[in-house]
Structure 1
């Protein structure tokens, strides 16, 4: 086995969501172990109310591992993956359709400096405004891949898979 990947779905979604399912299957076919926490009970608390329980669930999942994992998150899953990286070691972050804030939640989006990170966002994202993630990426000098897609990034699965494979290769080479 190569390493561990934890894939976090977006709000009001599930571990069987299209993006996390496709990426998990791709990683598993290459010998990576994956986990997809189920945040449905947390999401029942509303957007702002779900953040702290999601962070606690993801952090506990990471802490139970024997090595730092790659965290992959979509939307709310990206938001909590970044915040969890501040508290526990992670091998990398692949963050899709990342919100830079959750209305009603006091903390803004952040992540641990020095962690290999790729942000992927749709030009037409109607849920998470481009300006926030663009400004964050610019401040941190992080790679930001902009795709001609909306929040769900459903038309960009091939491009996302290619970037995911590139990140897995980089992590495997670093190990």
Structure 2
């Protein structure tokens, strides 16, 4: 049974920064493959969605989409077609100017969101709005947009989350 995590990085991030490296370690422990596509060629979130949808996922029984900031938007929009077993979202860039979509139909009930109270890029209330609409588990912590200060807490939650997705 093959299991995959796809991590979508944020607008000004790289595919293998601190967050994806930490989460990849957790995923490998749980028997998941982990890929992090490079979206740096374009800051257009909907172009990035198309790149994600172009992945061949036919060999996987369990798929979990993870995204940070713009990558969380990308993962959530792509989830409508990919129909993942779970969505793990970090400071999701929802309801912002310049993003085509303001309504989401993620097709999974297994959604977990981490957001920082000190986020000055995406207002914390945007995460709350999304979570309320989709009955998602929301973790609001004393952190900034990058959430690196709470990475150990997030990694522990991700481990439990992957266990739930694979069950």
State TM-score, norm by structure 1: 0.88
Mean Cα deviation higher: 63-72 or 51-60: 63-72
State the match for 1:146 in structure 2: 140
Q: Secondary structure at the match of 2:161?
A: helix
Residue pair 1:68, 1:89 contacting (<8 A) in 2 also: no
Structure 1 residue 64: deviation in Å?
A: 4.9
TM-superposition CA deviations, 1:41-68 (whole Å, max 9, x none): 022xxxxxx1121000111126454335
TM-superposition CA deviations, 1:102-150 (whole Å, max 9, x none): 3223311524244310011001111000111112212222211111101
State the match for 1:27 in structure 2: 27
Higher relative contact order (CA 8 A, sep 6+): 2
Question: Is residue 106 from structure 1 mapped to residue 100 from structure 2 by the alignment?
Answer: yes
State the match for 1:132 in structure 2: 126
State the match for 1:85 in structure 2: 79
Residue pair 2:30, 2:163 contacting (<8 A) in 1 also: no
Count of equivalent residues: 167
**Structure 1 residues 76 and 134: alpha-carbon distance in aligned structure 2, compared to 1, 3 A threshold:** same
State TM-score, norm by structure 2: 0.91
State the match for 2:5 in structure 1: 5
Q: Secondary structure at the match of 1:86?
A: helix
Q: Counterparts of 1:116 and 1:99 in 2: how far apart (Å)?
A: 19
**Structure 1 residues 13 and 64: alpha-carbon distance in aligned structure 2, compared to 1, 3 A threshold:** farther
Residue pair 2:117, 2:143 contacting (<8 A) in 1 also: yes
Q: Counterparts of 2:69 and 2:97 in 1: how far apart (Å)?
A: 14
Unaligned runs of 5+ in 2: none
State the match for 1:47 in structure 2: none
